[in-house]
Amino acid sequence: MAFLREQDTISGKHAKAYATINGTQHELFYAKSLETTIEKNKADVPVLGKTNVGKKAAGWSGTGTLTIYYISSLFRDLTLEYIQSGKDFYFDLMIVNEDPASRAGKQTVVLKNCNLDSVIAAKFDATSDDMLEEELSFTFDDYSIPTKFSPVV
């Protein structure tokens, strides 16, 4: 019987994230967390003789949330350009998970054509001891996994 070795789990602290914007790659060293979801869109399929309504996949949508420390104006500048010119911006996000203690190795995921839903224009909180951060929600329309984890069994 195989068991998971505790050291093969992946620590999120070893991740790296990069945004490729207008052909320039930016390391997001100020990122705190990221989570993305792919949700399948399903259509109802009523079937004669059945009392339930079946479902069939009919597409998908990708959404995510990137939490960063409030120390970069990069996304505010791009949003300001959109406000002033009407030219929206799209970018790719590359996330690399590689925990040196794990036999799983490295996984690289690229989220393509990301587009922000909202950006904080300005922020402060004089009542908190916590560092300022901002949550960037976004959509994406494609993704790839160029490097996959290795089996650990």
Q: Which of 65, 62, 42, 66 is nearest to 54 (CA)?
A: 42
Mean pLDDT, to the nearest integer, of 104-115?
A: 97
Task: Of 1-5, 48-52, 80-84, give the lowest mean pLDDT range.
Answer: 1-5
Domain edges within the chain = 6-46+54-147
Q: How many CA atoms lie within 13 A of 121 on its CB side?
A: 3
Q: What is the 3-state secondary structure (H, E, C) of the chain?
A: CCCCCHHHCCCHHHCEEEEEECCEEEECCCEEEEEEEEEEEEEEEECCCCCCEEEEEEEEEEEEEEEEECCCCHHHHHHHHHHHHCCCCCEEEEEEEECCCCCCCEEEEEEEEEEECCCCCCCCCCCCCCCCEEEEEEEECEEEEEECCCCCC
pLDDT band at 153 (very low <50, low <70, confident <90, very high): confident
pLDDT at 2: 86
**Would you place residue 11 in the very low, low, confident or very high pLDDT band (cuts 50, 70, 90)?**
very high
Tell me which of 2.30.110.40, 3.40.50.300, 1.20.120.1200, 3.30.70.1450 is the CATH number of domain 6-46+54-147: 2.30.110.40
Do residues 17 and 91 lie in contact, with contact meaning Cβ atoms separated by under 8 Å? no
Q: What is the pLDDT of residue 1?
A: 83
Residue 101 confidence (pLDDT): 95
